Structure formats: C-alpha cells, structure tokens
C-alpha cells in the first residue's frame, strides 16, 4: 500500500473509533433497559439513514454501497449482523468488563484469520500495538467486577470473531463498504423482530422526545459513521489494523461519561486509556513512516 492510502486509512479508522467511543454515553442517555430494543431501533435507524443517503446523494453510492444484500456484500453483512446479536447477548449474560476485555482480542483474531484463510503476512508492529492496547484494557478493567457466566464469554469471543471476519470480508468487497454495518444491523433487527425476542408494543413509549432524540443521534448518525468509517478503512489498511481502532472505545468512553454525568474515572482508567491511545498513535506514526520509505527511495 502507498503512503497516502495508509495515512488515509489510518485517519478514517481513528475517526471511526472516536465516533464509536461516544456510543456508551448515548446508550446511557437513551435509558432503554431492554438490549433487544436497542438492537431493533439501532438497526432500523442505521438502515433508514443508509437508504436515505443512497437515494438522495447518488454520487456517494460507489462509496457507501447498496442498501440491500448482494452476492458480493452478503458475507460481510452476515458477520456484522452476527456481531450485533452476539454483542448484546454477551452484555446480557455477563459483566461488561469481561466482555470488553475479550472483544479487545479482535486485532489478534483478525490477524490470525487473515493468515489462516488468506495467507496474509502477520504484521508484527500491529501485534505489538495490539498487545499494549490489550494491556491497557486490562488496566482499565482491573477494578471492575469480573463475575459472569461462561455463556457471556462465549458470546464475547463470538463477537470478536464475527467483527474480525466482517472486517476481512469488507476489505474484499469491490464496491462501497460504508453501508455494510448498517445492512448487517437491519438484518439483526429484523431477526429479533421475527423471533419475537422482545414485545414491540412498549417501543413507542421509549421514543418520547427526552429519549428519542438520543436514540435518533445514536442510530441515525453516530453508529452509521462509526462502523461505516471502520469498514471503509479496510480498503486502505489491513483489517487487523482496523480491529486496533476498536480499542479507542474502551479508552475514551469513560471520559465522555465523566463530561456528561460527572463520574470521574479512576487512576487506573486514566492509565489504561493512556496506554491504549499511545499504542494506537504510535502504530499510526510507525506505519505511516514505514509506508513513506519506498516513496522517498523512489524520488
């Protein structure tokens, strides 16, 4: 990959991680206790925005893709849908701390699957950065309760695998990739509705203005941008690098909650967050300098 594409992909991925870090704050503001309701509303809103942009801004279609399944985007769509469902089940059955630590293995899983399935070379710099980032996650979660069932652990590991496969499949989609997470989200939403996993008659009451505005921001703006940017970054950087940007959520989410609710993060959270952000930034600088070397040698 060229220096310009590596730089572009890293910036897009970091932007996706930054948007994703706002998600926990918005979920708190939404005050919706049933996780299946969040899956339904998020999926429908994400896809509605995808469909609206596809219809009103034709010049963006090569970038965002099609708002319906095709032979090329189906694998990525399926894995994004699986990740949506398994993540909610992981949170429903176990401690958030345990779930986040396990899902933080996504960069490692992505690198391993890329090696096994596509014979891609493992990037040692990425593995080093992911190791430091995972250590930062462990520091952040050191004070949190680690109680939880093995069922939650299995769902969390399934989420890491599904996200890794979703990024790998996204990198091989020739058309637009920004809308793939939205397509997967609505697939998960429709599955929850068809299986009747939660009563639908209570949903309208949750869309009152005091809650509905945050639900709208989360589902129609933040999540499409966050996951869309992450999926788009796979066109410019290795999918395992994209998994590294997911760690920014663990690092920054406590600080957004602090700014809104006054819940000041402890020293371990600050230390762990600094480790994660430092790992991502150091990897960003290193990969861009390494990509610039061939260009400099050619001049």
Domain residue extents for the chain: 3-294
| Band (279; pLDDT cuts 50, 70, 90) | confident
Q: Is the pLDDT of residue 210 over 70?
A: yes
Supply the pLDDT for residue 53: 96
Distance between CA atoms of residues 113 and 130, nearest Å: 15
Supply the pLDDT for residue 214: 93
Supply the pLDDT for residue 88: 81
Q: Is the pLDDT of residue 84 over 60?
A: yes
Q: What is the 3-state secondary structure (H, E, C) of 69-127?
A: CCCCCHHHHHHHHHHHHHHHHHHHHECHHHHHHHHCCHHHHHHHHHHHHHCCCCCHHHH
Q: Give the mean pLDDT of 256-263.
A: 86
Which tens digits make up the pLDDT trace of 135-161? 887 787 666 555 557 787 788 889 989
Q: Give the mean pLDDT of 79-93.
A: 87
Distance between CA atoms of residues 133 and 136, nearest Å: 5
Residue of 6, 175, 220, 184 lying closest to 83 (CA atoms): 184
Backbone angles phi, psi at 148, to 5 degrees: 165, 160
Q: Could you tell me how far CA 224 lies from the centroid of its own chain?
A: 10
Backbone angles phi, psi at 203, to 5 degrees: -65, -45
Q: Which residues pair with 94 in a beta bridge?
A: 148
Residue of 114, 126, 223 lying closest to 161 (CA atoms): 114
**Higher local confidence (pLDDT), 81 or 115:** 81
Which tens digits make up the pLDDT trace of 36-80? 998 999 999 999 999 999 999 999 999 999 999 999 999 999 999
| Band (233; pLDDT cuts 50, 70, 90) | very high
Supply the pLDDT for residue 90: 82
| Band (296; pLDDT cuts 50, 70, 90) | low
- Start-to-end C-alpha separation, the chain: 17
Helix (H, G, I), strand (E, B) or coil at 94: strand
Q: Give the mean pLDDT of 182-201.
A: 93
Least confident of 3-17, 94-108, 252-266: 94-108
Q: Is the pLDDT of residue 176 over 70?
A: yes
Distance between CA atoms of residues 271 and 262, nearest Å: 19
Q: Is 260 exposed, middle or buried (0-12, 13-18, 19+ CB in 10 A)?
A: exposed
Supply the pLDDT for residue 3: 62
Question: Which of 102-111, 146-155, 285-294 is predicted most confidently?
Answer: 102-111
Supply the pLDDT for residue 24: 85
The full length of the chain comes to 299
Distance between CA atoms of residues 188 and 37, nearest Å: 11
**Higher local confidence (pLDDT), 118 or 43:** 43
């Amino acid at each position: 990959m060229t220096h310009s594409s590596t730089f572009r992909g890293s910036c897009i991925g970091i932007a996706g991680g930054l948007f994703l870090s706002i998600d926990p704050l918005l979920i708190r503001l939404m005050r919706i206790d049933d996780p299946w309701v969040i899956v339904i509303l998020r999926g429908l809103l994400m896809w509605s925005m995808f469909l609206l942009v596809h219809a009103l801004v034709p010049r963006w279609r090569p970038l965002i893709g099609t708002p319906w399944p095709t032979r090329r985007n189906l694998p990525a769509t399926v894995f994004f849908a699986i990740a949506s469902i398994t993540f909610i089940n992981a949170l429903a059955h176990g401690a958030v701390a345990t779930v986040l630590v396990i899902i933080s293995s996504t960069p490692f899983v992505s690198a391993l699957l890329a090696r096994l399935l596509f014979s891609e070379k493992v990037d040692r710099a990425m593995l080093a950065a992911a190791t430091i980032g995972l250590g930062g996650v462990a520091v952040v979660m050191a004070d949190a309760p680690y109680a939880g069932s093995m069922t939650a652990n299995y769902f969390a590991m399934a989420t890491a695998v599904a996200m890794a496969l979703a990024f790998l499949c996204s990198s091989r989609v020739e058309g637009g990739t920004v809308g793939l997470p939205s397509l997967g989200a609505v697939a998960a939403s429709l599955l929850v509705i068809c299986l009747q996993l939660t009563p639908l008659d209570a949903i309208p009451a949750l869309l009152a203005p005091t809650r509905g505005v945050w639900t709208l921001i989360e589902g129609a703006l933040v999540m499409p941008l966050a996951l869309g940017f992450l999926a788009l970054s796979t066109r410019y950087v290795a999918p395992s690098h994209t998994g590294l940007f997911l760690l920014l959520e663990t690092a920054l989410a406590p600080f957004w909650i602090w700014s809104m609710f006054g819940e000041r993060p402890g020293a371990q959270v600050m230390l762990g967050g600094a480790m994660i952000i430092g790992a991502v930034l150091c990897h960003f600088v290193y990969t861009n300098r390494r990509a610039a070397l061939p260009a400099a040698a050619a001049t």
